[in-house]
Amino acid sequence: MNNNKLTAQQLSVLNVIKEEPLTSFQILNKVENISMILSLYTIIDQLKSKGAIESYTKENVKYHIAC
């Protein structure tokens, strides 16, 4: 994955989920960027399509983690 082709928002999301899987709400709390609230799901979809993250569901909660 070439991080040079990622936006600043995509990189900030990717950086917070490198260590451990997080829910979307946990990602928002760690990113601390209120303007990202509306675009987080779009950013997650973009990162998935680039192969940068994976998502899975455990006990009816969806988690995201960097690949």
Domains held by the chain: number:
1
Give the residues across from 62 on adjacent strands: 57
Q: What is the pTM of this model?
A: 0.74
d(CA 40, CA 35): 9
Q: What is the structure's pLDDT at 52?
A: 95
Q: What is the structure's pLDDT at 34?
A: 65
| CATH code assigned at 24 | 1.10.10.10
Residue found by looking up tokens 């979307």 in the block: 24
Residue 66 CA to chain centroid, in angstroms?
8
- Mean pLDDT score across all residues of the chain: 88
Q: Are 66 and 14 in contact (CB under 8 A)?
A: yes
Q: What is the structure's pLDDT at 3?
A: 67
**Domain extent at residue 27:** 3-66
pLDDT in tens, 10-33: 998 999 999 899 998 899 888 866
